[in-house]
Amino acid sequence: MNRQRATAGWLLCAAVVCTAVNTLWPQLSNSWAGLFTWCAGILLWPALPTHTRRQVIILIGIGSLGILWGMSQHFTPDWLMMLSGNAQLLSMLAAVSFLRLVARPDDSMDRVLPQGRRAVWSTLFGVHLFGAVINLSSVFIMGDRLRRKAGLDREQSIVLTRGFSAAAFWSPFFAAMAAAMTYAPGARLERIWLMGMPLALIALLITGKGTRNPKAFVGYPMHPSALALPAVLALAVLVLHQVRPDWHILGIICLLSPTLALIVISARRQQPRRRLQRHISQDMPTMHNELSLFLAANVMAAGLNTLFQALGGWLPFSHFGGLEASMTLVFMLVTSIAGVHPVINIAALGTLLSPLHPDGTLLAMTFLSAWAVGVACSPFSGINLSMQGRYGQPGLASLKWHGKYSLLMFLCSLAALNLYAKLGL
């Protein structure tokens, strides 16, 4: 099993290389990255938990039925979509994992845990910025340190969950952004940031201002210099995207993330070869859940695409504007709370709405808003399941703790989407 996991890690690394090369040299087919990710997914199938396997089987089943129905009506499925539809997305997630080697909070144990209002804000912005780069790892690093003092209390759980989930509004290193960019062609990162960053700031302000008894809050020790790398990374992605707008944002991240990680650990003389080998063979295979879901979403998207063609191109809307974005957001949030993974919604709705040729930025921001708001309150989201399993958070606490917050952020998201649609930015 260990050999299988290591092989899967190297296959994912090969997918990252293929996507990076494809960005510089488009003549290399992205199908190679798709082939490598599928091989890795097959090798990692035994490691999947039961609930993930169930979702994967359902998604593949839906896609297969759509393909069979379409073929019976003499429509040819998009086999390339099934092979490599999410190849860039999965390559990006694998590439971002390299940042864990260099971008992490200062977790030295000799620092005293701060307390008070300042601790609230340092913990909130710390988990937000590091979560934007290294994803869920930031929550575990901070949560484990806070738990050493005492079990996580309600306010600490709220700060970590909301601070992390709000990064989905704007972070180019998040799975949310990767999925949105994949299923909303034409989305512009700088325009997404015009809406996403203010929404994230509002989310952080609501959380920080709403903390009960902030004077007693025990937070995480953050040093300002530790936040420099996340800021530099985000800025580098935007600048390179402006210089080379023909390069896909996911390809840019595949270029930057491993390169930066290699440069930093080499400069620090931290046994770069040994650390990279260990990361590829041991750490990268831990993304098996995301890998399997996105691969299954490939099949579902291909199946739905064939099915919609066979049904004569049925569409829920005649065009996609502010009202339609609002209705889509409501649908995604309701189904998210019910346990439908955002990946499933994005793949299905992106495929369904594609014939309308919607404004890519408006559609992407709809997806990101649903992800950011939904994962905070859904008891079935990855962050809340992690908080339940790792820190003993009650099962339905997320609905109680984040209900009002999610409603406020839902209304703010509606306002942002409709304002963007009205101004025609």
CA dist., res. 88 & res. 79, Å (int): 16
When pLDDT is averaged across residues 417-422 and rounded to a whole number, the result is: 95
Q: How high does pLDDT run on average in the chain? A: 89
Question: So what's the pLDDT on residue 109?
Answer: 55
Q: How far is residue 246's CA from residue 248's CA, in Å, rounded to a whole number? A: 6
Which of 345, 364, 380, 341 lies closest to 420, judged by CA?
Answer: 364
* Cβ(91)–Cβ(254) below 8 Å: yes
- The CA–CA distances, whole Å, from 183 to 140, 199, 298, 344 equal 30, 22, 11, 11
304 pLDDT tier (thresholds 50, 70, 90): confident
3-state secondary structure of 278: helix
Are 218 and 156 in contact by the 8 Å Cβ rule? The answer is yes
pLDDT tens profile 128-141: 988 888 788 888 88
Give dist(CA 93, CA 174) in Å, integer.
8
- Predicted confidence (pLDDT) per residue in 341-364, tens digit: 898 899 999 999 999 999 999 999
The pair phi, psi for residue 115, each rounded to 5°, is: -140, 145
Q: Are 402 and 206 in contact (CB under 8 A)?
A: no
- Alpha-carbon distance 310 to 304, whole Å? 10
225 falls in which pLDDT band (50, 70, 90)? Answer: low
CA 327 remoteness from chain centre: 22
Residue with tokens 């005293």: 112
Residue 421's φ and ψ, nearest 5 degrees, are -65, -40
pTM over 0.75: yes
> Is the pLDDT score of 313 beyond 90?
no
Q: pLDDT tens-digit profile of 62-116?
A: 999 999 998 988 888 889 889 988 898 899 889 988 888 876 676 555 567 889 9
**Digit-coded pLDDT (tens) for 28-62:** 888 999 999 999 999 999 999 888 898 899 989 99
Per DSSP, the three-state class of 115 is strand
Whether the per-residue pLDDT at 14 is higher than 90: the answer is yes
Domain boundaries, the chain: 2-423
